[in-house]
Amino acid sequence: MYQCPNCGGNIKFDIASQKMACANCNSYFDPYDISKETDAEENTYFDVTEFTCPQCGGRILSTENTAANFCSYCGASTILSGRLTKEKRPGYIIPFKMTKQDCKEAYKKRVKNAIFAPKELKDPEFIDGFRGIYMPYWVYHVTQKGMSGFRFSRSHRKGDYIYTDNYELSGYNNSSYKGLSFDASSSFDDTLSQAIAPFDAKNMNTFTPSFLSGFYADTADVPKNTYEYDAKSIAEDASVDYIKNSVIPDSKEAHRYNLDDSDSQIASHLDSHIEETDCAMFPVWFLSYRKKDRVAYATINGQTGKIAADLPVSIGKFITGSLLLTIPIFLFLNIFFTFRPTTTLTLVAFIALISMILYGIELKEIKKRDEGLDDIGKYAICNDNFDNKQPVKNKRKRSFKKVNNSKFFSIFTAFFIVFITFNVMSMTAALMSSLLLFNFGPIFWIAMIIIGIVLVRTHEKTLKTLKNKFVIPGSLPSLAAIIIAAVISILKPVSDLFYYGGCIGAMIAVVFSLISLINYYNMLATRKLPEFDNYNGGDDDAD
């Protein structure tokens, strides 16, 4: 706790004034004038209180003597146990610019249109749970010096011949990229940190512990060389774009020139080096929502206000909304379209197949996240053979790449596509000759069933990997819907009641698959509870 020099009261960092403020006497002080340490520039450690969550083992650091009333990582409501500790000083810090009220307003706007989100996410008491945490980041300085060159060509027609002129350009490259930052905490998922990136590293201040007063902090446990490949890749991409735009300017003649070297070939000649790596603390507002063994996060960039939020779907709200939506769709279809029973049954089968494909996509993404393939820092800690010079199993993401952290609208986009496809297929089917369906119907349905069986078997294997046991895939009812449609279409019963009864039964089966799809989507919109069994500082062995 920092004491006010005037009255002895507790002073904290005030975001609005960017100074240390005393609530008792309304005094303001420069953060660099308030320090518990002497010769701060020469000290490599600073004193903090470490709070450890008894449920997940997560820890946060604070300069205050009071503990948080919940864990930001697992969402548990608890009193965190604390102890005094010394931590390595980071080199730089970006102070908070966004206030807690700013974050609450931004989050309210984000969830306002999320009509299917659980009501708990919109509860004012829950939204008040935002906590300001300084997250550790590795900041890289990449340089490129040396000769580099590439080839390009220009082709033109003259008579019956095409002439190609080849050019080779070389020159000395002297580029420097500072402030390429990547989160250094394994507890901070890369998908979240990338979604709220970038931070403006130009506004970094020299670190002093007084900036932490009134906030919490995390420590770096990811080795500092983890993101060297990514930092070099970003610098190389930027240099390649600059070279291409400079040599072939945007003019009427630009389209006549073609680069013979690929981007990767040009980048290989740039000779990128990591000149320097600094540890810094960047401001992040953190909000966690826990349900059973999964947790959802809302994070806000404390400097720019950029928000990323995991938004699960309430099954009850989704089913109610879907039922209400079917009324106008039903009226619309009855007014403008007339469907034959065979056409309706075929379309229901297609909807079942699409739901199975969506189910598989969700399972694949869940498997990727739970294995840590989209979180390089966590992957590096959990794998001793991690090679920071190569992509992680060819799935490694480069930082600052645009990330759609919340796939909240993916399901509804899929349903929109299904709806459009439904109408297009309906109009196409009305124009097709019935001869096609009668002659090739069995082949068509056998193919549909085979595809469905392959998808279900694939889903079964993925679920076994995720759950470590046999689980009946939620796509199985959709396969049953396809089989029902196939049997009725091949047998061709005389009464339309068989067709409409089959449609009803198939749609009920599809609804069960969609409910399972939403459940797994909620798994994708949430994350496994973090584990901190081996929480070691990533820079402990650094020079």
Q: Tell me: the pLDDT tens digits for 244-257?
A: 776 655 544 444 55
Biggest CA pair distance of the chain: 94
Q: Tell me: the pLDDT tens digits for 335-358?
A: 766 667 777 778 788 888 888 888
Closest CA to 378 of 234, 520, 192, 216: 192
SS3 of 92-160: the string is: EECCCCCCHHHHHHHHHHHHHCCCCCCHHHHCHHHHCCCEEEEEEEEEEEEEEEEEEEEEEEEEEEECC
Tell me which of 369 and 125 has the higher pLDDT: 125
Extract the tokens encoding 72.
Answer: 């930001």
Most confident of 50-64, 187-201, 408-422: 187-201
Residue 202 has pLDDT above 80, yes or no: yes
Please answer whether residues 296 and 525 qualify as being in contact, where contact means their C-beta atoms are separated by less than 8 angstroms: yes
d(CA 370, CA 365): 9
Instruction: Tell me phi and psi for residue 125, to 5 degrees.
Output: -65, -40
Mean pLDDT to the nearest integer, 449-470: 85
Closest CA to 314 of 524, 113, 515: 515
**Predicted confidence band at 37 (pLDDT cuts at 50, 70, 90)?**
low
pTM of the model as a whole:
0.75
Extract the tokens encoding 203.
Answer: 């506004």
**Predicted confidence band at 139 (pLDDT cuts at 50, 70, 90)?**
very high
Residue 513 has pLDDT above 60, yes or no: yes
| Beta bridge partner(s), residue 206 | 92
**Predicted confidence band at 394 (pLDDT cuts at 50, 70, 90)?**
very low
Residue 174 has pLDDT above 70, yes or no: yes
Most confident of 46-55, 343-352, 376-385, 398-407: 343-352
Tell me which of 207 and 538 has the higher pLDDT: 207
d(CA 500, CA 474): 24
Extract the tokens encoding 280.
Answer: 């810094």
* Residue whose token pair is 């945007």: 250
Identify the pLDDT of residue 1: 66
Extract the tokens encoding 422.
Answer: 């439904």
> How many Cβ atoms sit within 10 Å of the Cβ of residue 141?
18
d(CA 200, CA 415): 38
> Checking phi first, is residue 26 left (phi over 0); if not, alpha (psi -120 to 50) or beta?
left
Element (H, E) at 43: none
**What would the DSSP string read from start to end of 439-467?**
HHHHHHHHHHHHHHHHHHHHHHHHHHHHH
Q: Tell me: the pLDDT tens digits for 259-308?
A: 655 656 666 677 788 889 999 999 999 888 887 778 888 899 999 999 98
d(CA 210, CA 529): 31
**Predicted confidence band at 233 (pLDDT cuts at 50, 70, 90)?**
confident
CA angle (507 as vertex; 506, 509 as ends), nearest 5 = 65
Q: Tell me: the pLDDT tens digits for 79-92?
A: 666 667 777 888 89
Extract the tokens encoding 205.
Answer: 């201040």
Give exposure, 105-122, as e/b (b: 16+ Cβ within 10 Å). Answer: ebbeebbeebebbbeebe
SS3 of 511-541: the string is: HHHHHHHHHHHHHHCCEECCCCCCCCCCCCC
Residue 539 has pLDDT above 70, yes or no: no
d(CA 494, CA 316): 39
Please answer whether residues 220 and 279 qualify as being in contact, where contact means their C-beta atoms are separated by less than 8 angstroms: yes
Sign of CA dihedral 420, 422, 428, 430: negative
Please give the mean pLDDT across all residues of the chain: 76
**How large a percentage of the chain has pLDDT more than 90?**
8
Residue 534 has pLDDT above 70, yes or no: no
d(CA 217, CA 62): 6
Extract the tokens encoding 359.
Answer: 């189910």
Please answer whether residues 22 and 6 qualify as being in contact, where contact means their C-beta atoms are separated by less than 8 angstroms: yes
